[in-house]
Chain A
Amino acid sequence: MSGKSVLKRLDWFSVLLYICLVFIGWINIYSSTFTDEATSIFDFASLYGKQLFFIGTSAVAIVIILALEANFYERFSSLFYIISIVLLLGLFVFGKTIAGATSWYNLGFFNLQPSEFAKVATALALAKYLSDIQTDIKRQKDQMIALLIILLPAFLIIPQPDPGSALVFFALIFVIFREGLPLYYLGIGSMIVLIFILTLKFGTIWVAIILGLLLALFLLFKKPSFKVPIIPVSLIYIAIILFSLSVNFVFNSVFEQRHRDRFGLWLRLEKDPKKLEEIRKTIGYNTYQSEKAIESGGFSGKGFLEGTRTKGDFVPEQHTDYIFTTVGEEWGFLGTATVVILFTLLLLRLIHLSERQKNHFSRMYGYGVISILFVHYFINIGMVIGVLPTIGIPLPFFSYGGSGLLFFSALLFIFLKLDANRLNELT
């Protein structure tokens, strides 16, 4: 197989989307870290200069990834996984602490974040395990092992503390679903989340009333032939009420104040305008400022380098987790919608690519890539525009950070390499 044929079979549409996202991301990092004293875009003392360097590094990494044998990734996936676990464990001893989280190795000019590497490794390892001929996902034991592969790195990352990154691993459960984990797991999971949120927002009584009404409607309009199993339905109803009651207890007694604050903020539980004003200056500062910055962009934005709130540094962490606010302020609705559309297109494209894989490993890895990218994109933008609680994770290809960009690129291009190779495997 020659390098030329890889380039020929590479999915250029995905590559194009990737380049667009990285380019738009860098433009916005440039804007949010730009100062009037700046000299050249290659100034490595500046953050945008560094990011440009990381983009170059990623490009080199992509060339290497595409040049390597396709089966290299499948063959060494277990090794990558073990290395990543060792690296995560090593953080407890050698880790460097930045902003309160011990998540980095200091490599001199560059801080390496092994959790980013672990995302790639775990996706590979999970794909490898699930595609193994001996694995049957309908078996409970195999389900447990698959879950363990996902949860092990997650639990090593939680105490850093970096709950946001840990959450990403849970997204890999999607892969198992795709491969046949019964859907009612997902149903029960979403039900629990929904009841939890509804209880916090409206209280147990309203949850009971709404569910009762839904049930009554169902009974009224059901086909006469359909027999309702009265006892199980009543038991489920009671179980939900009990769960709803326990939510209040958990929220008030188990959760810490900062968690309560974040949920309270997210669900808009505070109605008193005076306290709201207070919240805006304290725990809600980030969310308030980021929403305001996006809002102030209006339909067409204030223009490149014209974002006043960006220049004034009103949004904290703007070049990393809150980079989307720069898009919102300077490029307006046109810019933000473009970014959302680019991500959506990329994810749908990747689903399409995954589905056409004949090789099980490739398909499952593809789903792993999709799950990881999707959960980052969903949580990050959701948080920035105020529809999700504050959880600090970066926006793939956008947020400032070397490890992030490098491993997101690796994550994507390993899959594109596998995809480019799919026809070779048939022959």
Chain B
Amino acid sequence: MRKLLLSSIILLVGLTFIGRLSYLQIFSFSPNQILEDPAIKAVYDYPERGYIYDRNGKLLVANQPAYDVMVIPREVKPLDTLEFCKLLGIDKEKFISQLKKARIYSPRLPSVLVPQLSKEDYGRLQEKMRRFEGFYIQKRSLRYYDTNSGANVLGYISEVNEWDLERNPSYAAGELKGTTGIEKEYESILRGRKGVKYIQKDRFNRDIGPYKDGALDTLPEQGKQITVTLDKTLQEYGEKLMVGKHGGVVAIEPASGEILALISGPTYDPALLVGRERSKNYSKLHYDTIAKPTFDRSILASQSPGSPFKTLNALVALQEGAVTPETTIKCYNGFYVGRRKRGCHCGGGNRDLNSGIYLSCNAYFAGAFRKIYDLFPTSAEGMDVWEKHMKSFGLGSYLGYDLPTGRPGRIPNKEYYNRIYGSKRWSSSTIISNSIGQGEVEVTPIQLANMTAAIANRGHYFTPHVIKKIGGEDISIPKFTEAKHTSIDKKYFEPVIEGMANVYHKGTARWLQIKDIEIAGKTGTVENFTRINGVRTQLTDNSVFVAFAPVDNPQIAIAVYIENGYYGSRYAGHIATLMIEKYLKGEITRADLEKRMLEKTLEDEYAKPYSGEPFKINERVW
């Protein structure tokens, strides 16, 4: 008995130990060891972010080195503070307070002493650096913009936030990612893959060499360059014309759906959101609630399209057989809705399709609109057909272009009106404003441009996009390379396009003619309202113009939407024709138009609602 006592205790202890060890080493063991191990630090090696080029191979976005002066407080030896401060370009107080801050953060770990030195300062500092122990220079890569345009399309990069970290394990705190625009949309391509080096640390967090001699380390994978469809020259020119105007300009190549220019006014220099002043600049832009420079009007501003929408109504009327090009409708310097008269500026008289378009006769389109609905037993059925045709032009949807934001606009349907008026309590007369592009229908500038491209192509369009090449190879994304067909037969486009060409020859835009270029266009002058202290107040009309050229072989389709620019042929028409000429000819022949657009601004107009005083609208300034 006594003999066995000690033996059994020894066996029991042995079993207990093995039990505990299997609990620790087999059950508690986590395979993610390497990341949880305090003795191993993963040091990431970041690849260079891919460059962005325009459609002609001109550089838009590249990278620039930035140099941070780092300090490890514990390793700082007595130094000539005055000389060092002079080299860094900071004063002594700032140096001392920064050093103190770094020491409070950690005496052993590096902190940033002076962020983002200029190249010149870096050059001067570099050779003398080794004399100052405890300090070193760390190179970082920042975005460099070889243009001061396209901020809204290119987007910017910023540090990842908590949300990104939770959702995407490939990001680590402090890393940069594309936050808006192309930088966001093509993040995975531009970013490349970071390399990792595992470093063995001791318990004081000092490096003591590579872990496993670097056997698990990986090399960074370069980000790919991308080529976008933008035309750098056109984009820069458009932004110059847009100075002092609020609105959007979108130019598309009809044959491919490639976006040639995507301009939002007012905009900002993309370089503002890089470097030392970044957060200050961002706040300034973000809190400008009147001009809203960070609001991309070209894809986000959803507004009434105005008269350009008449072209689509004409197409629907022709397709459904409600009118023929020869059908005439009488204009009484307006038209009647019940007993109420709505005005028209076309001059009155009998209008057919052609003159209806080029004189922008409201009465003709109101009549044609009614005729469409009269073909159907109920307004609801007419609505269904009308809605189907409109949507086939990409209206009322996000379109599917490759930018991370957008608005669907609005093509109202029968449910929409049933909700407002009740079922069967509305008719074509109730919704007659849609015939002239006012009323409930809303579009964004990019939808207007796309609609114009569909007309230019006589019945089909390609989803607008900004990506052209990835890593030097043409894209083969079916979404962007396959044509979307509208529900209108090709033959019905010719009469409408003829009308649009006449707009330019003898209609509302006849002042804008440019030598040797055949343009088909349509003006729009859009009533719009705002609320000032709760009172619905009308503002100066929005100026809208859509156009494509040349008529027979369209190279460019463009939509220009200028807030409070009055007649469509003014600001919008000017800008559209200048852009077309710039793109097709490379130079401007109508210096008078260009001069006017570069000089005139609408700042006075935009200040009116904020003046606190009554103001006049639609003033004849020129």
Contacts and interface: CB of A to CB of B under 8 A. Distances in A.
Interface of A: 36, 174, 177-178, 183, 291, 294-299, 306, 308-309, 311-314, 328, 332-333, 336-337, 340-341, 343-344, 347-348, 351, 355, 367, 370, 374, 378, 381-382, 385-387
B340 interface: no
Interface stretch (B15-23, B152-160, B547-555, B575-583): B15-23
A291 B24 contact: yes
B7 A295 contact: no
Contacts, number: 105
6 contacts: A36-B209, A295-B28, A295-B29, A296-B29, A312-B39, A381-B17
Contacts of A381: 17
Contacts of B75: none
Contacts of B209: 36
B38 A295 contact: no
Given A311-B39, A312-B39, A314-B39, A295 B24 contact: yes
Contacts of B16: 387
Contacts of B584: none
B479 to A, nearest CB: 48
Contact of B2 (A177, A337, A378): A177
Given A178-B6, A351-B6, A387-B16, A313 B203 contact: yes
Given A374-B9, A385-B20, 16 more contacts: A183-B2, A295-B28, A297-B25, A297-B29, A299-B29, A309-B38, A314-B203, A333-B25, A333-B26, A337-B21, A340-B18, A344-B10, A355-B3, A367-B6, A385-B24, A387-B16
Nearest to A332: B25
Contacts of B24: 291, 294-295, 328, 385
B289 interface: no
Contacts of A348: 7, 10-11
B208 interface: yes
Contacts of A298: 25-26, 29, 33
B200 A312 contact: yes
A308 B200 contact: yes
Contacts of A355: 3
Which 10 pairs across A and B sit closest by C-beta, in order of nearness? Answer: A312-B39, A308-B39, A344-B14, A333-B25, A298-B29, A312-B202, A295-B24, A336-B21, A340-B17, A314-B203
- Judged by DSSP, the binding face of A is helix
A294 B14 contact: no
Contacts of A174: 6
Given A294-B25, A297-B25, A312-B200, A178 B211 contact: no
A312 B208 contact: yes
Contacts of B20: 385-387
B326 interface: no
B203 A312 contact: yes
Contact of B25 (A178, A295, A311, A386): A295
Of listed B10, B26, B37, residue having the most chain A CB within 10 A = B10
Contacts of B108: none
B8 to A, nearest CB: 10
Q: How large is the interface on B (under 10, 10 to 19, 20 to 34, 35 or more residues)?
A: 20 to 34
A368 B226 CA distance: 80
Nearest to A180: B2
B14 A343 contact: yes
Contact of B11 (A36, A344, A382): A344
B387 to A, nearest CB: 59
B556 interface: no
A22 B14 CA distance: 19
A370 B6 contact: yes
B13 interface: yes
A296 B37 contact: yes
A308 B39 CA distance: 6
Nearest to A181: B2
B382 to A, nearest CB: 68
A348 B26 CA distance: 27
A312 B38 CA distance: 9
A385 B125 CA distance: 53
B201 interface: yes
A91 to B, nearest CB: 32
Contacts of B22: 333, 337
Interface in B205-229: 208-209, 211-212
A347 B25 contact: no
A373 to B, nearest CB: 10
Of listed B9, B20, B28, B209, residue having the most chain A CB within 10 A = B20
B200 A311 contact: yes
Contacts of B26: 298-299, 333
Given A299-B26, A348-B10, A333 B202 contact: no
Contacts of B25: 294-295, 297-299, 328, 332-333, 336
B40 interface: yes
A197 to B, nearest CB: 15
A311 B208 contact: yes
A309 B40 CA distance: 8
A336 B5 CA distance: 25
A355 B2 CA distance: 11
Of listed A312, A314, A337, A347, residue having the most chain B CB within 10 A = A312
B203 A178 contact: no
A357 B561 CA distance: 109
B54 to A, nearest CB: 49
A370 B7 CA distance: 10
A28 B18 CA distance: 19
B34 to A, nearest CB: 8
A254 B136 CA distance: 55
Nearest to A285: B203
Contact of B21 (A177, A340, A351): A340
Given A294-B24, A295-B24, A332-B25, A314 B38 contact: yes
Nearest to A378: B13
Of listed A374, A385, A386, residue having the most chain B CB within 10 A = A385
Contacts of A343: 14
Of listed B203, B211, B212, residue having the most chain A CB within 10 A = B203
A178 to B, nearest CB: 6
A272 to B, nearest CB: 21
Nearest to A297: B25
Contacts of A299: 25-26, 29
Contacts of B208: 36, 311-312
A386 B25 CA distance: 13
Contacts of A337: 18, 21-22
Nearest to B28: A295
A370 B26 CA distance: 31
B237 to A, nearest CB: 60
Nearest to A382: B17
A337 B201 CA distance: 28
Contacts of A296: 29, 33, 37
Interface string B37-55: 1111000000000000000
Nearest to B31: A298
Contacts of A178: 2-3, 6
A375 B16 CA distance: 15
B43 to A, nearest CB: 15
A385 B24 CA distance: 8
Contacts of B14: 340-341, 343-344
Contact of A351 (B7, B33, B40, B201): B7
A12 B485 CA distance: 93
A353 to B, nearest CB: 13
Contacts of B5: 177
Contacts of A306: 212
A297 B13 CA distance: 22
B23 to A, nearest CB: 9
Nearest to A293: B39
Nearest to A341: B14
Contacts of A313: 202-203
Contacts of B37: 296, 308-309
Nearest to B27: A295
Contact of A312 (B3, B18, B28, B201): B201
Contacts of A374: 6, 9-10, 13
